[in-house]
Amino acid sequence: MSWIKIKIQFSVQKADGTPGSSDDAYTVAAQVKDDALFGTFAEIDTEFWSNRMDRSLESLSRFELGEVVDPAKGRFEFTLELAADLFPAELGGYNHLFGILAGDLLRFVLPPLKVSDFVVKDISIPDSWRDAHTGLFRTYSTNISDLRKVFSLEDGMPLLAFSFKPRVGFKLDALEAIASDVMAAGFNIVELDTRFLPLDRAHLESLREIASRLADKQWSGRSGRLSLNFTLPTSVLLEELQAFCDQLPTPVVSKIDGGLNGIDAIQSVRRAKMVDVQGSPPIITCYPLLRTALANYVPPDKVLEALILSGADVIYPGGRPDVGHMKRSLDSSTQNSFVQAVQRYRDMVRRNEAMPTIAGGIYAGQLHAYYELLGPDVGWVLGGGVTLHRDGPKAGAALCVEVAKAAAESRAKAGRSWSENLHKKLVKKCDEAYVGTSKLSSNELTYFSPSENLAIPRLSPFEMSK
């Protein structure tokens, strides 16, 4: 018997406002368990239903009261367990599970008790459920090791992507020219932003033609691809993405974001076993738009896990370690959070499923530090870091590539120590890259030295594999 285990915290007070007891907490947890099973505000007649159920009630849902989180505030924790086979992977199990948790399961009254502040702290899925999703969806995805091969990445080089800025309103010939410049500088992907959607089918056809022309160019042995935003209604997505796959050589790169329909949309592509003209599945990049929107009911990393198991290949996990603007001296709590953020990325790399990326406002002066921390199997997605360069996007892309190559060379020589600063000319380029182009002060977008700023307990640089 396999169970999905959901760790939940809540507060309970008695009618007079005093903190609830363990007995009160048990009553609340039992109500959640029963509501998940029966869907009624009161206990049903189990004797009446005993011979009308095709399986025992105990095999459907159960709970275990956990520790007292804060007795002075009446805050408790319990684990709700739901039978995993109630959420079949092939029929939208993740959507169903998340819908229950973010819907009405944890929203009720239980007089005379006052129940409030439900927070889902963790969702643990059984191996059988994970395996079912892997078999249905990830089997047709591309892992980190294979992504490096299909993009012909040099040893030590990260995947480089440009999230095209401005987000909307640009001319398509400008898109093609700038994308060509950025790929010529050494980038692997130019991706249309999450805000950019085709206006109609004709617009999408024009974008496909641009992507096809760019894919036909030679990029010094590298693959350079324009990634279109296919965050579309599922029926339109399947038709248009297949047309995209029929038009371009491997690798075909498409963007499907983790919005309201993200999980189902990605699963639909993988369920269709879609491939390009060379028999390879499209590479799906994903920005998890709703990762934190339902955080009280669905932990952000569980949204991430769902998108990955559904078939995303390249994904921004959020929560990147903060370098560049952070204080030069970190207190212990900040140090712990920083180390945990680094470890989280490294854990994703070790799993060799979807490639995690750093994104969200990164710029050239930070990249050496990110390479030291995370290595070449974490992708770099830059927007303003390319567009805002004072000499234009081509120069911005070229600078990022130059930093990537220098960072890889420095890391290979440094062993277990933090590598030395990049050479002075390159540091100067980083310091001057965005002068006059950003509302931020000129000293906020400058070079961040790993050796001078990352001497944090329990933190060491990424070690290159032999």
Categorize the per-residue pLDDT at 53 as very low, low, confident or very high, splitting at 50, 70 and 90. confident
Mean pLDDT of 63-78: 96
Q: Which of 180-184, 220-224, 304-308, 427-431 has the lowest mean pLDDT?
A: 220-224
In this prediction, residue 332 carries a pLDDT of: 65
Contact assessment for residue 161 and residue 189, using Cβ atoms and an 8 Å cutoff: yes
Q: Is the pLDDT of residue 115 over 50?
A: yes
Name the β-bridge partners of 253. Answer: 283
Distance in Å from the first CA to the final CA of the chain: 43
Categorize the per-residue pLDDT at 346 as very low, low, confident or very high, splitting at 50, 70 and 90. very high
Nearest by Cα to 150 from 247, 256, 249: 249
* Phi, psi (deg, nearest 5) at residue 153: -70, 135
Categorize the per-residue pLDDT at 466 as very low, low, confident or very high, splitting at 50, 70 and 90. low
Contact assessment for residue 189 and residue 153, using Cβ atoms and an 8 Å cutoff: no
pTM, rounded to two decimals: 0.94
Nearest by Cα to 104 from 46, 61, 40: 40
Helix, strand, or coil (residue 165): coil
- List, in sequence order, the alpha helices (H) in 81-143: 93-102, 127-136
Q: Is the pLDDT of residue 464 over 90?
A: no
Q: Which amino acid is at 330?
A: L
In this prediction, residue 438 carries a pLDDT of: 75
Residues 225-244, buried b or exposed e (16+ Cβ, 10 A)? bbbbbbbbeeeebbebbbeb
Mean pLDDT of 229-252: 95
Categorize the per-residue pLDDT at 325 as very low, low, confident or very high, splitting at 50, 70 and 90. low
In this prediction, residue 326 carries a pLDDT of: 47
Measured CA distances, 181 to 214, 218, 224, 379, 402 (Å): 10, 13, 11, 20, 15
What the block records as the tokens of 126 is 């059984």
Categorize the per-residue pLDDT at 327 as very low, low, confident or very high, splitting at 50, 70 and 90. very low
Distance CA(68)–CA(61), nearest Å, equals 22
The mean of the pLDDT values for the chain is 93
Distance CA(158)–CA(140), nearest Å, equals 23
Q: Is the pLDDT of residue 331 over 80?
A: no
What the block records as the tokens of 327 is 């204080």
Nearest by Cα to 125 from 92, 97, 91, 95: 97
Virtual torsion, Cα 328, 333, 335, 338, nearest 10 deg: -110
In this prediction, residue 219 carries a pLDDT of: 86
Q: Per residue in 269-287, pLDDT tens?
A: 999 999 999 999 999 999 9
Q: Is the pLDDT of residue 356 over 70?
A: yes
Q: Is the pLDDT of residue 329 over 60?
A: no
Q: What share of the chain in percent tops pLDDT 70?
A: 96
In this prediction, residue 443 carries a pLDDT of: 73
Measured CA distances, 49 to 38, 43, 68, 83 (Å): 11, 12, 34, 19
Q: Is the pLDDT of residue 460 over 60?
A: yes
